[in-house]
Amino acid sequence: MPAAPVERLRVGVLASQGDFAAHLDLLAGLGAEAVAARVPAELAGLDALVIPGGESTTISKAIERDGLEEPIRAHFDAGRPILGTCAGMIVCDRDHLGLVDAVARRNAFGRQLQSFEADLELEPEAGIGPDPIRAAFIRAPWIEEHGGAVEVLARWEGRPVAIRQGNVLLCSFHPEIAGEQRLHALLMAMATAARRRGAEAVSG
């Protein structure tokens, strides 16, 4: 009997506001079924979710206005991975959705450094290999404070700018602008692992 075809990963990008289109293109390029998610139904049944950069207050308001908090939480509770970039990092922090035990500080790099690009080395436990990431920082936050369950995957000037707690991966910068694909690839690998866990749970 031929093997059952492997279903493509369905990865949603929260599309209420911000630079969601670049993420959709990148995910499609990596072979995912990439879907723009603006309403609760579009957040159901996703293997992974990206919360993009933009304006964190606007995105937070849209989440509340459009009833998206509950489906995001259901996705999180099901152990499915989330990647938050820049404003998306802020939206996931302890003071907002509370998906990680960390607090992001908005616009933390100050006036001179409002926007810059850097080659950023990630810790080996990030699992994306030794080559630095090309990171675009745009009025970026940093992690001001975090609990022991949070892994710091990268720092810039001593400040945590990429962290992971369980299935939530957050970065201060925009990987998609510089065409950096490895964080999205990592998200998809986490989604594949989550799917496998789900299948095992079903089959006992």
Catalytic machinery residues: 86, 174, 176
Q: Residue 166: what residue type?
A: G
The CA-atom distances, in angstroms, between 145 and each of 48, 150, 160, 176, 196 are 26, 10, 9, 26, 33
Q: Provide, rounded to whole angstroms, the least separation between the CB of residue 197 and ligand GLN.
A: 31
3-state secondary structure 119-130: EECCCHHHCCCC
CB of 109 vs ligand GLN, minimal distance in Å: 10
| Minimum separation from the CB atom of position 53 to ligand GLN (A) | 3
Q: Least distance (Å) from ligand GLN to the CB of residue 157?
A: 17
DSSP structure class, residue 174:
B
How many other C-beta atoms are found inside a 10 Å radius of the C-beta of residue 46? 24
- Which residue lies nearer to ligand GLN by CB, 47 or 93? 93
Judged by beta carbon, residue 12 or residue 53, the one nearer ligand GLN is 53
Token pair 């459009």: residue: 66
- Residues near ligand GLN, by CB under 6 A: 53-56, 86-87, 90, 106-107, 138-139
Based on CB atoms, which residue is closest to ligand GLN, 140 or 186?
A: 140
Q: How far apart are CA 83 and CA 163, in angstroms?
A: 10
Beta carbon nearer to ligand GLN, 9 or 86: 86
